Amino acid sequence: MGSVELTRRRLGRTDMTRAPIGFGAWAIGGSWGAVDDEESMRTLHAAVDAGVNFIDTADVYGDGRSERLVARLRRERPGERLWVATKAGRKLPTQTPEGYSRANLTAWVDQSLRNLEVDAIDLLQLHCPHPAVYDTVEVFGVLDNLVAAGKIRYYGVSVETVDEAHRALAHPNVQSIQIIFNLFRMKPAEALFQEAVTRKVGIIARVPLASGLLTGKLSAASTFAADDHRQFNRNGEQFDKGETFSGVPYDVGLAAVEALRPLVPGGATLAQFALRWILMWDAVTVVIPGARTPDQARHNCAAADVLPLDAATMTAARAVYDEHIRPHIHAGW
């Protein structure tokens, strides 16, 4: 148990073949309360030991802290091929389409190259940019130029909404769409996946455990540190509300968790069930749960050992979504 054993999946039209469970490196950079770099390194090593070969980070996670930890991981595991994706764009003090200029994009990429200690970034993603960016051909032309210059190998986008994803798919060299997809955010399966498959664009599923709600370990009495986004962004005060608890009202999410518990297969946890549900969708290239401890990383990877969910379970999970979640979030994202 605890190893990523499902068939590896190719990202879009790239040569990036990944284990289906990756590692989301937001938490080790910050915004989830206090973090310890040595514990983060042990966590990263535990994930790779369990079969992870794809790590998703961003230049703003701890202002480069997460990227630098990933660089250290690569130094400490020189013989292993680890695919690393990072993101750019959230350093702007205010999101505007003009901020995605050639000068800014090049500067952000150059800084990430230094942080990651590489000559080329495997996958660069625009980081939930201003919506007008998706219709700005010049921005994607700059990304093409960065590929031609050898600074990035491939590029994609990290989006907030299904509509933004469709607009991004109009650009022919987009290789991946990163989007929130989980038991509390099912709209992408209804309204995005088929087009992504048709266009041979990979799907990276983020926030798979709805900021911890789908671990089943949170309660009405749970508290969060002042520097944890589950405290400071619950109503979208700092960034899109959907990034925190998938946009689901906290009390509604807790009720939905209780409705899901009877569906969890024997021997699995709710979190593993939630991750296995995501992997039932062939359009998903990789799911990127975060982890702050080695045990959490191993636990996430063990979701690959859960047997495929049967049709009755998938239908029942959809019913929970329709009853509890859909009225609150489906139209919004």
Q: Which of 61, 100, 154, 321 is catalytic?
A: 61
CA 330 to chain centre: 19
Mean pLDDT, the chain, rounded, equals 93
Query: Is 61 known to be catalytic?
Result: yes
In this predicted structure, the answer to whether residue 277 has a pLDDT above a threshold of 90 is yes
Least trusted range by pLDDT, from 8-22, 91-105, 146-160: 8-22
In this predicted structure, the answer to whether residue 41 has a pLDDT above a threshold of 50 is yes
In this predicted structure, the answer to whether residue 227 has a pLDDT above a threshold of 80 is no
Tokens of 7: 């068939």
Give ∠ CA 224-227-228 in degrees, rounded to 5: 45
- When pLDDT is averaged across residues 288-308 and rounded to a whole number, the result is 96
- When pLDDT is averaged across residues 132-146 and rounded to a whole number, the result is 97
Confidence of residue 285 (pLDDT cuts 50, 70, 90): very high
pLDDT, position 3: 55
pLDDT, position 32: 58
Cβ atoms of 271 and 209 within 8 Å: the answer is yes
pLDDT, position 309: 97
In this predicted structure, the answer to whether residue 242 has a pLDDT above a threshold of 90 is no
pLDDT, position 64: 95
pLDDT, position 86: 98
- As a whole number of angstroms, the distance between CA 18 and CA 92 comes to 31
Report the percent of the chain where pLDDT is more than 90. Answer: 83
Domains of the chain: 9-329 (3.20.20.100)
pLDDT, position 33: 66
- When pLDDT is averaged across residues 323-330 and rounded to a whole number, the result is 93
pLDDT, position 4: 58
How far is CA 185 from each of CA 28, 65, 158, 195, 321, rounded to the nearest angstrom?
Answer: 24, 29, 15, 18, 8
pLDDT, position 302: 96
User: pLDDT tens digits for 247-269?
Assistant: 899 999 999 999 999 999 999 99
User: pLDDT tens digits for 3-40?
Assistant: 555 578 899 999 998 899 999 999 898 765 678 999 99
In this predicted structure, the answer to whether residue 167 has a pLDDT above a threshold of 50 is yes
pLDDT, position 325: 96
pLDDT, position 1: 39
